[in-house]
């Protein structure tokens, strides 16, 4: 929920209190999930999600009807997505699923589906139902907050029973799909927080609410003004400035460096530093944090910390999608597409090879563009003098679980990340990392491939050029939303 608090701070309003508190989520209604429920929902095809889909309900504060539409849109997508993930987990070898960590993730998905089933056969048409449904979304986000670190430990413990290629294929699909599921839930939560028409519902029952000058009335009016002036539509910032995100990530990674090495490299930002695009700050924060962690670590260990890491920000023209395509280094030939700037089912984990629910030939038929019109984006180059990447490591760069850490360090990291509630990779991804959150400078080999998944999810990409013995250039390409 840290990411939602960040959105709230940007929008200039406090988070709501009782309706979404931890106490209220303990009393969420659930329904028994049967195998037939899972099979029925998993048989529904999955299609790519666009940023335009998430913006279509309008700019906050939303009206009651628009908020209901957002809730129903969310409800129309999530049950099938959860069922696909359950099926994919069950398709793993039994001895892998029996691992306590992998089994826990399976149980989390079944639990989340059980909280959605009571709403699956009806529409949300009252504020009471919307408030209850939003509590379900808050529970879903909280339940799956540590999925990555738990899965990482589970597959590490079960590595004797499944090949590295099978792990990479499963995780690339599973974690890409998780990005969308979490994003859909967080978008409705953010729209709920920034609109809160239920405030009128609660204040109308109060005797003081009848006065136009009452504190609750003036607070509601101020809240609406703040929301209208914000550049946010849910979790999407329509005026996102990459330079600001880079500085925030530099500060956090620099603190980690000082704790671990006693020094911190500096960065030099060049190019169009005032560039803005419409994108998701949480995603960009995660990607840049992972890229800077790698550059900072390599720079220090090469003894080149006096050499500034150069970061170039270059806005891409609206018609320049060809550059995006060159950055998308696909591992599956079927996921390639001749159309430039296209989001595929592969990009978003919707091909579903693991469970077999979506046939591979659907990977091409479901492709759609980010928006009807070409959208401007930005390319960010990170150039360091960290000695580059050795040829033997370069070929494994996009493999989940590949790391340069030794076995003892890996076991130490998985123990701390799996047991700590909010530490490790998920904490960094949620914006709650840093020294206090237990995140380390290098992890378990999930950061870079997951960062690429975030970039590719909406039509961007990451490309790496290494000059062994000298340094590395990393190119991050992002596609914006366009006009909203």
Position 114 pLDDT exceeds 50 = yes
Position 327 pLDDT exceeds 80 = no
Least confident of 88-92, 248-252, 371-375, 457-461: 371-375
Average pLDDT, the chain: 76
Task: Tell me the C-alpha distance between 320 and 118, whole Å.
Answer: 46
**Domain 2-231: CATH architecture, name and number where available:** Up-down Bundle (1.20)
pLDDT tens digit string along 215-247?
A: 444 555 555 555 557 889 999 998 999 999 999
Q: What is the pLDDT of residue 14?
A: 38
Q: What is the pLDDT of residue 291?
A: 95
Q: In what order do the strands lie in the sheet with 277-279?
A: 232-233, 236-240, 277-279
Write the burial class of residue 396 (CB in 10 Å: 0-12 exposed, 13-18 middle, 19+ buried): middle
Q: What is the pLDDT of residue 439?
A: 40
What is the CA 198 to chain-centroid distance, rounded? 28
Task: Tell me the C-alpha distance between 76 and 481, whole Å.
Answer: 23
Quick check: 263 and 307 in contact, CB under 8 A?
no
Helix count (H) and strand count (E) of the chain? 20, 10
Q: In what order do the strands lie in the sheet with 267-271?
A: 267-271, 309-316, 377-384, 471-479, 461-467
Task: Tell me the C-alpha distance between 154 and 470, whole Å.
Answer: 36
Q: What is the pLDDT of residue 470?
A: 95
pLDDT tens digit string along 191-203?
A: 998 886 766 655 5
Percentage with pLDDT > 70 across the chain? 66
More confident residue, 269 or 16: 269
Stated pTM of the model? 0.75
pLDDT, average across residues 128-155: 92
Q: What is the pLDDT of residue 52?
A: 78
CA dihedral sign of residues 232, 236, 240, 243: positive
- The CA-CA-CA angle for residues 161, 398, 86, to 5°, reads 50
pLDDT tens digit string along 37-65?
A: 999 999 988 877 777 788 888 888 899 99
Per the DSSP assignment, residues forming a β-bridge with 462 are 476
Domain 236-479 class, CATH top level: alpha beta
More confident residue, 231 or 248: 248
**Ranges of CATH 1.20.140.20 domains, the chain:** 2-231
Position 267 pLDDT exceeds 70 = yes
**Ranges of CATH 3.30.565.10 domains, the chain:** 236-479
More confident residue, 222 or 432: 222
Positions of E strands within 341-387: 342-343, 368-369, 377-384
């Amino acid at each position: 929920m840290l990411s939602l608090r960040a959105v709230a701070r940007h929008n200039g309003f406090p988070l709501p209190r009782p309706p979404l508190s931890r106490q209220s989520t303990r009393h969420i209604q659930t329904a028994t999930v049967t195998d037939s429920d899972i099979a029925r929902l998993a048989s529904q095809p999955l299609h790519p999600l666009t940023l335009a889909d998430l913006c279509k309900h309008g700019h906050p504060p939303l009206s009651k009807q628009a908020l209901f539409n957002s809730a129903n849109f969310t409800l129309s997508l999530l049950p099938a997505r959860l069922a696909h993930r359950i099926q994919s987990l069950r398709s793993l070898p039994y001895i892998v699923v029996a691992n306590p960590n992998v089994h826990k993730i399976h149980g989390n998905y079944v639990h989340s589906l059980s909280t959605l089933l009571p709403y699956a056969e009806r529409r949300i048409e009252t504020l009471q139902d919307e408030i209850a449904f939003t509590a379900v979304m808050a529970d879903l986000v909280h339940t799956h907050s540590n999925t990555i670190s738990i899965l990482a430990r589970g597959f590490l413990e079960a590595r004797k029973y499944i090949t590295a290629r099978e792990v990479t294929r499963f995780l690339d699909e599973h974690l890409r799909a998780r990005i969308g599921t979490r994003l859909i839930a967080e978008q409705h939560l953010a729209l709920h927080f920034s609109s809160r028409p239920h405030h009128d519902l609660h204040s109308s029952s109060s005797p003081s609410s009848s006065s136009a000058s009452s504190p609750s009335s003036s607070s509601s009016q101020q809240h609406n003004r703040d929301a209208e002036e914000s550049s946010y539509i849910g979790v999407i910032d329509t005026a996102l400035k990459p330079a600001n995100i880079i500085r925030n990530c530099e500060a956090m990674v620099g603190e980690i460096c000082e704790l671990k090495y006693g020094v911190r490299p500096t960065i030099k930002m060049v190019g169009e530093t005032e560039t803005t695009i419409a994108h998701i700050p949480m995603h960009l924060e995660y990607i840049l944090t992972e890229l800077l962690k790698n550059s900072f670590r390599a720079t220090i260990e090469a003894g080149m910390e006096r050499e500034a890491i150069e970061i170039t920000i270059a806005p891409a023209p609206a018609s320049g999608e060809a550059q995006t395509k060159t950055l998308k280094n696909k591992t599956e030939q079927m996921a390639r597409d001749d159309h430039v700037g296209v989001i595929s089912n592969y990009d978003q984990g919707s091909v579903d090879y693991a469970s077999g629910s979506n046939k591979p030939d659907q990977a091409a038929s479901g492709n759609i563009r980010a928006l009807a019109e070409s959208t401007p984006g930005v390319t960010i180059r990170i150039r360091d003098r960290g000695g580059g990447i050795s040829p033997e490591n370069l070929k494994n760069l996009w493999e989940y679980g590949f790391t340069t850490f030794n076995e003892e360090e890996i076991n130490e990291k998985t123990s701390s990340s799996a047991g700590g509630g909010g530490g490790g990779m998920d904490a960094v991804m949620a914006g709650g990392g840093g020294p206090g959150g237990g995140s380390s400078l290098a992890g378990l080999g999930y950061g870079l491939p997951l960062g690429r998944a975030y970039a590719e999810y909406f039509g961007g990409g990451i490309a790496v050029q290494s000059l062994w013995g000298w340094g590395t250039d990393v190119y991050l390409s992002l596609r914006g939303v366009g006009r909203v």
